[in-house]
Amino acid sequence: MQEISKLVIQSFAKVNLYLSVINKRPDNYHNLNTLFERINLSDKIVLTSRADNLIKVSCNNSLVPSDESNLCSKAARLLQDKTKAKMGLNIKIIKRIPVGAGLGGGSGNAAAVLLGLNKLWKLNLTKAKLAKIASGIGSDVAFFIYEAPFALGTSRGEKIRILNKLNRIKLWHIVVVPKIHVSTPLIYSKFDEFSGLTRPAYDVKLLTSTLVKKTLSLRSGGLLFNSLETVTLKLYPEVKRLKDKLGALGLKNILMSGSGPAVFAVVSSKNKAQLLSNKLKKEEKSWRVFSVSTF
């Protein structure tokens, strides 16, 4: 019998500390300037080789598709095609990251599959080559390939510059996800209507220099920015209520991640994050609340 190879990988989430949508591109995507932060909220991906060349996906969350539209399936098939690999794969996704929340769960899963298969299939591809493949799957996937805590993303978000000067920075957050579905295509389609309200007050360079100095928690807010937040708050009142609730707790650095509905806040310590997280879990039963840090 052929030996079955198996690999278990953690797949992490992200938040966008800065997301400036610059303009719409001819391909109907948007040019972005974003600062990614990887956080320690994670899913588990189990990869098991198959004797045939089929790609099969399963997940413990019914919101995640198990057909070819799944980003993990796309990632495996793309790598299979590009490298002429003859092996097949079973992909088991154990979800903890909320689905469709703006936290990059699906993108991180796809990147984890690419990284895992590079080992499982002994492909020896560089991260630069994997990132190029990743950019054909989704805008955020390339960020996760580099396994870095912070990075700048440009173009659609797939052109990545790792910020090594931030490698020793560790932020603590509470991340809150209301039980609503936010349509990313709708948010982007409405973006141009609110463009006058979505210009950043500060350049991302000021935010990165503040992070280097480890003084972000001392700022009164304003450096964190998301062009899409104004649009989402107008269309989804529950996200506005969530942001107002965090503000009422005395938090200053509060921002929506991606197109939402996840909202996060920068807090001063692990203890503060856990205390606020426990408080919100008791007061708002319908929200999913996480205490997380940079990873």
C-alpha dihedral sign at 187, 189, 194, 200: positive
CATH fold of the domain at 6-164: Ribosomal Protein S5; domain 2 (3.30.230)
Annotated domain spans of the chain: 6-164, 172-293
Q: Is 140 a catalytic residue?
A: yes
Given a cut of 90, is residue 189 above it in pLDDT? no
- Lowest average pLDDT, out of 25-29, 52-56, 122-126, goes to 25-29
**What whole-number distance in Å separates Cα of residue 277 and Cα of residue 110?**
29
Q: Which CATH number is correct for 172-293, 3.40.30.10, 3.40.640.10, 3.30.70.890, 3.90.79.10?
A: 3.30.70.890
Distances (CA, A) of 66 to 8, 43, 142: 19, 16, 22
Amino acid, single-letter form, for residue 133: I
14 is known as an active-site residue: yes
Number of residues written out for the chain: 295
pLDDT at 284 over 50: yes
Range 27-50 average pLDDT: 95
Lowest average pLDDT, out of 197-206, 256-265, 270-279, goes to 197-206
Report how far residue 35's alpha carbon sits from residue 84's, in angstroms, rounded to the nearest whole number: 35
Within 10 A of 292 (CB to CB), how many other CB atoms are there? Answer: 23
User: Contact 99/181 with Cβ under 8 angstroms?
Assistant: no
DSSP codes of every residue in 147-162? T-SEEEEEETTTEEEE
- 43, 140, 170, 243: which one is catalytic? 140
Task: Tell whether pTM > 0.75.
Answer: yes
Q: Quick check: 194 pLDDT over 80? A: no
pLDDT at 1 over 70: no
- Of 14, 74, 95, 243, the active-site residue reads 14
Contact indicator for 95, 106 with CB cutoff of 8 Å: no
The share of the chain scoring above pLDDT 70, in percent, equals 96
- The confidence score (pLDDT) of residue 199 equals 77
Q: Determine the pLDDT at residue 3.
A: 52
Chain center to CA of 288: 16
Q: What is the pLDDT of residues 41-74, one digit of tens each?
A: 999 999 999 989 999 999 999 999 999 999 999 9
pLDDT score, position 51: 87
Residue 35: Cβ within 10 Å count: 22
The average pLDDT across 89-114 equals 97
